[in-house]
Structure 1
Amino acid sequence: MRYYTLSCLFFFFLLIMAGCKKDDLTPPRDTAPARAMGDFIRNNYDLSLLAAAMQKTGLLDSLNQPGPFTCFAPDNKAFNDIGITSPRDFDAMDPESLRMLVRYHVFKDRKYISDFPLQMGNKYVTLAGAEMFVSSSGDLNATNTPAEKREVFVNGSMVYPDSKRNVALSNGVVHVIRKPLNFNAVTIQDYLQADTSLSIFVTVMKRCKLWDGLKDKGPFTVFVPDNEAFRKYNITADSAARLDPEKYEAIAFNIYPLALKSKRVFSTDWVQISGTSGPISSMINVGNFAIKPFYEYNWYYSSENAIIDMMDVIKEGFSTNGPSTLHYRNGFAIGADQLTSNGLVHRIDDLLLDPATLRK
């Protein structure tokens, strides 16, 4: 009788343990849940704006096909940060541009975080036909970082940790990201030429004989102040058209396209490579100056700090030839990481260097 009672108690204990077991958000790859990617995105409240955009372009139902697919999914807050707060906002967008936008967030294959090599700029061809760049890094202060705890950014957009990454589905995997990815299927030159608010910068690049290079293969990275930023230094459309570059040190203006050196530097790359306090030699060096793009996400406040520090290589400190710290124009989500067919544009709110301090 005692043996029977103990057996019953043990069986009852097992039932309790089974009832308390939680579902794994990232189950083994060969036992992924039956729900397909299109249905998952459609029924996820935090992804409702992405679902609306995909529905409008006809992609959502396609993501129920066998695949497999990997989707970097901007949540609703990510869209809010670029001014999209309602599905109706997509109606104002050019249909082909919207189609490119949503297809650029997906590529064919199933890639969990552990599948991305521990290196910068891993390339994957998206459904839009253009490449995205995934960078994975470990803790700089540790000899080994578990794959699921690595810092991962795609085109400078942070992949959230924990339950927002590695969402396993029957036909792929979803990783939620901090901001929408921005790809422009034109050269940097075409991108700049199309925006009248950048016309002074275009004129300065032409006067300094840097303009023609911006249509070459690259890749190039260009930091672009708008007209308002130039006017703060008394550089107008008229004075820019008469600018004599011979009267200035070359660095005064060739720093913006990094002297046309072949570099593709996303806003978050430096932090992944060097942490928050790497040496000046590891920054973006041009002449005697260095550009330090800094990025930090505050998990307590769910906020991010994205700035650009200007450093003086000789003095090994902040630059005194202009602002020591700059910000991205119209915010990080809009101003940074504008990918083009031959490089990157970062829109900034000030000049990197005051030209008056670099006159010969």
Structure 2
Amino acid sequence: MRYYTLSCLFFFFLLMMTGCKKDDLTPPRDTAPARAMGEFIHNNYDLSLFAAALQKAGLLDSLNQPGPFTCFVPDNKAFNDIGITSPADFDAMDPESLRTMVKYHVFKDRKYISEFPLQMGNKYMTLAGAEMFVSSSGNPGATYTPPDKRNVFVNGALVYPDSKRNVALSNGVVHVIRKPLNYRPGTIQEYLQADTSLSIFVTVMKRCKLWDGLKDKGPFTVFVPDNDAFRQYNITADSAARLDPDKYEAVAFNIYSLALKSKRIFSTDWVQISGTYGPISSMINVGNFAIKPYYEYNWYDNSENILINMMDVIQQNFSTNGPSTLHYRKGFAIGADQLTSNGLVHRIDDLLLDPATLRK
């Protein structure tokens, strides 16, 4: 009888232990599941567009190889925001450009969020042969942020939190990101020349003797309004060709290239460094003006607040020499953070400053 009682108690204890144990949804990093990266991406509905891009580029099976790899994967919503809603949309892309695009999202090594140094612009060489830039920061105002909870952006694209980061796989790790990474081989000058909708900007840069600098090593950051934005200020192709820069304060036009100072500034960098209320001195200062690229992600409803404020350094307030608020042309996912071999292009929907207010 005593033996029977002890056996029952032991069995009951085992049941209690089993009932209290919960599955670890994030497998230990040294015992990652048998699934390989290519297989995981292919079988994940939310990542189906990136899987289709990999497949069309002939690279899906490559991510089933030993690796290890770190892959920043845009989810389907990220592709939807740039106008890609089905696998057929990739058919319109140049095959080599598509191949470069998907390879740019991957580098060799296994890097979890906690392993990215707590600093801006950590460089990693991608499978496309070009560097990506990963910035890691603590929560603004917090004295301590757990390493796996840090704010991480890659080329200005948010790395989602919780279950969408640190997805451990047999041959690497996946982190899901807010938007596709945009890299184009070639210089900023070549990028601008290839787009006829930017021809007035090109002419203005030439007239102001800033054009030749845009093919140099850099890195440079350039805010680029298109032809329609210039026309709103009565600057046409003809008047731009006759522009006399000596009749204006230099900042009227050199602000777009940040006076050719060597800076690579992604759209989310300022908020990572300074929080949402950093001083004007911490913004992008050119002459007596400052550019404030603002980015905020709302975790409650998965929305974003994104804009660019123009500030007057002397008045310590919003600029009155043009629009106080601008946005990225065709939206954040398309207009911001277009990386080239020698810097960044941010396409904007207005002029930063009204040249008429800066005549000598």
Report the counterpart of residue 138 of structure 1 in structure 2: 138
Report the counterpart of residue 18 of structure 2 in structure 1: 15
Q: 1:11: how far off?
A: 2.1
Distance 1:304 1:87 in 2: 26
Q: 1:12: how far off?
A: 2.1
Q: 1:79: how far off?
A: 0.3
Distance 1:194 1:163 in 2: 40
Amino acid at match of 2:255: I
Report the counterpart of residue 243 of structure 2 in structure 1: 243
- Aligned mate of 1:4, from 7, 14, 33: 7
Q: 1:17: how far off?
A: 2.9
- Count of residues paired in the alignment: 357
- Indicate yes or no: 2:319 matched with 1:323: no
Q: 1:302: how far off?
A: 1.0
Q: 1:143: how far off?
A: 1.8
Report the counterpart of residue 93 of structure 2 in structure 1: 93
- Indicate yes or no: 2:122 matched with 1:119: no
SS in structure 2 of the partner of residue 132 of structure 1: strand
TM-score, normalization: structure 2? 0.98
SS in structure 1 of the partner of residue 111 of structure 2: coil
Task: Show CA shifts across 1:103-124 (max 9, x none).
Answer: 0000000000011000000000
Q: 1:127: how far off?
A: 0.2
Distance 1:4 1:226 in 2: 80
SS in structure 1 of the partner of residue 132 of structure 2: strand
Deviating 4+ runs (over 4 angstroms) = none
- Indicate yes or no: 2:349 matched with 1:346: no
RMSD: 0.8
More off after superposition, 205-214 vs 8-17:
8-17
SS in structure 2 of the partner of residue 63 of structure 1: helix
Report the counterpart of residue 24 of structure 1 in structure 2: 25
- Indicate yes or no: 2:269 matched with 1:269: yes
- Indicate yes or no: 2:290 matched with 1:287: no
Q: 1:293: how far off?
A: 0.3
Distance 2:12 2:30 in 1: 35
Task: Show CA shifts across 1:13-64 (max 9, x none).
Answer: 223234xx22322x22210110000000000000000000000111110000
Amino acid at match of 2:47: L
Give ranges in structure 1 of 5+ residues lacking alignment.
Answer: none
- In the TM superposition, what are the counterparts of 1:1-360 in structure 2 within 5 Å? 1=2, 2-18=5-21, 21-25=22-26, 27-360=27-360
Give ranges in structure 2 of 5+ residues lacking alignment.
Answer: none
TM-score, normalization: structure 1? 0.98
Q: 1:146: how far off?
A: 0.4
Task: Show CA shifts across 1:293-336 (max 9, x none).
Answer: 00001112211111100000000000000000000000000000
Amino acid at match of 1:162: D
Amino acid at match of 1:23: D
SS in structure 1 of the partner of residue 52 of structure 2: helix
Distance 2:294 2:105 in 1: 24
Distance 2:99 2:19 in 1: 49
Amino acid at match of 1:24: L
Distance 2:224 2:215 in 1: 16
Q: 1:7: how far off?
A: 2.1
